[in-house]
Structures are given as structure tokens and as C-alpha cells.
């Protein structure tokens, strides 16, 4: 499967979890639409020399561009095996690119510095994709449970994690 096709199928699934506009008072990310925070949207619009506007008005094309550049490519998902790409991408969207890269590095047993360099790539190549997905899922659950907002958002995070893990495992087996 081509990299663009992998991105498209992963994005479809991520967007199912992200939903529409939200500005929950307990969410430290603030206002979001389709998972894109106002701050991320502002940065994207600045990079395109466009005026600032509410994330409520984000377009499908902008969503696609932001996810591709700011999450998929930024987290090196284009270079990851099937299944692992989805696990890392969804985590990057949900909890940040740096954390996603570090959890990936932990899963393959290298220093978690957030840089996907030659040592990390070699470790990824040596570790079965299914093992990486399982380790990342376990680490992700522990992280969510450690957050102060788990009581508010935990049920949704765990449902999302279960769904992402199941799909990522299926793709990792192929």
C-alpha cells in the first residue's frame, strides 16, 4: 500500500475519534474542531499567510493539510510499518508528536529522546510491528491513567485506545 493511502486510511479513523467543535472547560487544549486546537490552527494559517479566524471555520482541506504535516510527517509515520503508523499517528494527535515518538522509542528499547534517527529506525526494523503496537498501547494506557483529567476523559480515552489498538494490531499482522 502506498504511503498516501496509509495516511488517508489512518486519518479517516483518527477523525472518527476527534469529532466536531469542542471547547470543554476541563480540556487544557482549549477550543478544538476535528481535533485541531485553536493554537495549531492559528499557526497553520500564519504559515499560509492567511488571517486568523476561529477553528470553528476550519475547512476539510485545512484539516487534511494540518494532520499530514503537523502529525503524520512530523511523527515520521510515513516511514513506519503498518499498524505502528496508526498507533503513533493517533497518539501524536491525541497527546503530541514528541510524546508519540518517545513512546515509540520506549517500545523498541532505545533512548527516548524524541528523535527518530538511525538507531531508532534499526530497532523498529528488528522489532515485530505487533510487539511495538502492544507495548505502545500499554504505555499509553499508563500515561492516560496518570493524568489529573482521567476522571473526566478517561472512559473516552480508554474506548479510543481499545479501538486504535485493535485496528493497529490487525494491520500489524498483515
* Domains of the chain: total: 1
pLDDT score, position 121:
97
pLDDT score, position 10:
98
Reading the block at residue 112, the C-alpha cell is: 527516548
Three-state secondary structure string covering 20-70: CEECCCCCCCCCEECCEEHHHHHHHHHHCCCCCCCHHHCCHHHHHHHHHHH
Phi, psi of 113 (to 5 degrees): -100, -5
**Number of neighbours of residue 136 by Cβ within 10 angstroms:** 25
Phi, psi of 79 (to 5 degrees): -105, 5
d(CA 56, CA 40): 13
Residue span of the structural domain in which 137 resides: 3-173
pLDDT score, position 64:
96
pTM reported for the whole predicted model: 0.92
Q: Which of 25, 34, 27, 58 is nearest to 44 (CA)?
A: 58
Reading the block at residue 61, the C-alpha cell is: 482541506
pLDDT tens, N- to C-terminus, the chain (174 residues): 899 999 999 999 999 998 888 888 877 778 889 989 999 999 999 999 999 999 999 999 999 999 999 999 999 999 999 999 999 999 999 999 999 999 999 999 999 999 999 999 999 999 999 999 999 999 999 999 999 999 999 999 999 999 999 999 999 998
CATH code assigned at 88: 1.20.141.10
pLDDT score, position 19:
80
Angle between the N-to-C axes of helices 3-18 and 60-67, in degrees from 0 to 180, rounded to the nearest 10: 110
pLDDT score, position 14:
97
Q: Which residues are bridge partners to 21 per DSSP?
A: 33
Amino acid at each position: 500500500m502506498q504511503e498516501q493511502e496509509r495516511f488517508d486510511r489512518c486519518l479517516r479513523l483518527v477523525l472518527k475519534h476527534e469529532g466536531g467543535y469542542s471547547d470543554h472547560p476541563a480540556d487544557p487544549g482549549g477550543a478544538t474542531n476535528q481535533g485541531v486546537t485553536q493554537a495549531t490552527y492559528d499557526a497553520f494559517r500564519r504559515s499560509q499567510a492567511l488571517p486568523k479566524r476561529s477553528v470553528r471555520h476550519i475547512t476539510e482541506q485545512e484539516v487534511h493539510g494540518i494532520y499530514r504535516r503537523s502529525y503524520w510527517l512530523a511523527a515520521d509515520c510515513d516511514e513506519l510499518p503498518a499498524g505502528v503508523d496508526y498507533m503513533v499517528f493517533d497518539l501524536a494527535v491525541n497527546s503530541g508528536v514528541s510524546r508519540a515518538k518517545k513512546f515509540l522509542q520506549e517500545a523498541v528499547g532505545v533512548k527516548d529522546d524524541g528523535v527518530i534517527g538511525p538507531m531508532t529506525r534499526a530497532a523498529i526494523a528488528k522489532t515485530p510491528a505487533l510487539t511495538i503496537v502492544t507495548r505502545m498501547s500499554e504505555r499509553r494506557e499508563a500515561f492516560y491513567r496518570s493524568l489529573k483529567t482521567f476522571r473526566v476523559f478517561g472512559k473516552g480515552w480508554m474506548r479510543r485506545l481499545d479501538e486504535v489498538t485493535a485496528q493497529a494490531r490487525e494491520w500489524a499482522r498483515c
